Amino acid sequence: MESKGRIMSEHNEKWKAEEAIGGNRAAVEALRELITFPLLYSSQAQKLGLKWPRGLLLYGPPGTGKTSLVRAVVRECGAHLTVIRVDAIDPALRRSGRFDAEVEVTVPTAEERFEILKLYTKKVPLDANVDLEAIATSCNGYVGADLEALCREATMSAVKRSSDANECAGVLSVTMEDWRHARSVVGPSITRGVTVEIPKVTWEDIGGLRDLKKKLQQAVEWPIKHSTAFSRLGISPVRGALLHGPPGCSKTTLAKAAAHAAEASFFSLSGAELYSMYVGESEALLRNTFQRARLAAPSIIFFDEADVVGAKRGGSSSTSITVGERLLSTLLTEMDGLEQAKGILVLAATNRPHAIDAALMRPGRFDLVLYVPPPDLEARHEILRVHTRNMKVRDDVDLRSIAEETELFTGAELEGLCREAGIVALREDISATMVCNRHFQTVKDSLKPALTKEEIDSYSSFMKSQSPKSSGRLESSTSSGSKNKKKKLVPVFSVTSCVVSIAILAAAKYFSTRANRTPNELVVT
């Protein structure tokens, strides 16, 4: 009874675990029940013959606060804590009667990250412009330990700035600039090893492709930023999108711009990174990437050179093909598992869509297949403006005229043209302050487009060869549906009548043969 009274007083009047732990409310409640219920309701349990769980296993990614959670709840309940550190838990410990209950400590959500940041910044002097809620939203994939390190780095940045400016310690405050610096230093530990730093690429940095960018915004940004609208209407978001087209047409840049706009974790994998000489290592890396993406959701998994990862099966029995088939099977399984996961999108880019296995191209995997064409005249003009906006260009440079003279040039080639024009100006005069029209003309005359008209036609032919289900999955064709129905009624009726007539004649011949009668006699009868 003494222990019961102590726990009740601690639980109701004194310190609470929420003062030291942000988020993970389900795990906190589970621990409270495990520790307090056997003492608070022991008599009721004896009457009912109830046996309390003898153990609880907390599991989750590193840094999510498992140890801190146990210490906080034990302190709240006034119980004694004994810590035994083991390197690994034998599976036998997880059977019934030992660790009866298991509670997962998950990666914190945006709301939980906000609570954790408020906890760690209680004593930190924050500038009036600091928006902790916006910081929490932008820290996708950060666990509690990462957020603690983030607060520490932001505070250190403020202290260093204050000392450099000889400011008084009494007016020290952590500004948004300090938080931005901390974000550049401290990243989410859960995504280390496979995540690349997303360049600050925006939609405005990509010239042209307006319709394509709009479709990507709908497929990538909308499910993340307007998830409640999708849930309200019962709409399932796109799970996969394939970008295909000639080299140098901004497929990879489009994927990175989409990830940056959606503020999602970005995982980038190429075929060269996935293939390994050790059996099973490639599949393990792929599974690990999807697992990390689930923990860091919302996230985007980007496959560059998707034709290597999703190559068609069959045709050879060599070791490399066997590895490719195993990798493809793993990819298909993981993409099917995205139906239960939320906030994960697979983006892929390829120059050879014909080489991708048909199983990947069906709806439910790559729901959206988009062709990224070479830029037209307007797009070339816009690309040239994008890549010359930070250059000192003389007034005699006519970007419109250059765009007209660079037909068949890709975006990468136009970017190279602008860069080389600046280098030519420096070669002419190392102290040059402006890039002139003659510099652009010199570079343009020395360049030839890498693609021919025939090659571009071959790239665009893939969409024409696809059925309407796979090539235009987000493009509505209902406008012509009602007209086509009326046109198709006549041929369908004609075919049906023909089949019925053939069946009647066959039956007549069969019965007439058995009755030793001719077909003409049977018809007369």
CATH code where residue 401 lies: 1.10.8.60
Q: Do 57 and 184 lie in a common domain?
A: no
- 455 in any annotated domain: no
The domain tally of the chain equals 5
Q: Do 30 and 149 lie in a common domain?
A: no
Secondary structure in 3-state letters for 19-47:
HCCCCCHHHHHHHHHHHHHHHHCHHHHHH
- 468 in any annotated domain: no
Q: Are 126 and 118 a contacting pair, CB within 8 Å?
A: no
* Sign for the pseudo-dihedral over CA of 221, 223, 228, 233: positive
- 266 in any annotated domain: yes
Would you tell me how many other CB atoms lie within 10 Å of the CB of residue 76? 24
Q: Do 43 and 64 lie in a common domain?
A: yes
Q: Do 324 and 245 lie in a common domain?
A: yes
Q: Do 365 and 322 lie in a common domain?
A: yes
Q: Do 336 and 400 lie in a common domain?
A: no
pLDDT at 354 over 50: yes
Q: Do 279 and 397 lie in a common domain?
A: no
- 295 in any annotated domain: yes
What's 289's domain CATH number?
A: 3.40.50.300
Residue range(s) defining the domain that contains residue 495:
479-524
Share of the chain above pLDDT 90, in %: 16
Instruction: Please tell me whether the overall predicted TM-score, pTM, comes out greater than 0.75 for this model.
Output: no
Over residues 467-490, mean pLDDT: 40
List of residues 6+ apart from 372 with CB closer than 8 A = 209, 212, 243, 244, 245, 246, 249, 250, 251, 254
Burial of 238 (0-12, 13-18, 19+ CB in 10 A): buried
- Rounded to the nearest 10°, the torsion over CA 348, 349, 352, 353 is 40
Of the three residues 407, 430, 450, the one that is the final residue of a domain is 450
- 66 in any annotated domain: yes
Task: Please write the tens of the pLDDT for every residue from 127-164.
Answer: 888 899 989 888 888 888 889 889 988 988 888 887 76
Of the three residues 163, 191, 219, the one that is the final residue of a domain is 191
Lowest mean pLDDT, pick from 184-188, 292-296, 492-496? 492-496
Q: Do 237 and 350 lie in a common domain?
A: yes
Check residue 64 and give its pLDDT: 74
Task: Please write the tens of the pLDDT for every residue from 111-131.
Answer: 889 999 998 888 888 888 889
Q: Do 383 and 352 lie in a common domain?
A: no
- 473 in any annotated domain: no
Q: Do 254 and 276 lie in a common domain?
A: yes
Q: Do 170 and 230 lie in a common domain?
A: no
- 463 in any annotated domain: no
Would you tell me how many other CB atoms lie within 10 Å of the CB of residue 446? 10
Return the closest-CA partner of residue 244 out of 361, 151, 365, 415.
361
pLDDT at 84 over 50: yes
Q: Do 280 and 412 lie in a common domain?
A: no
Check residue 99 and give its pLDDT: 66
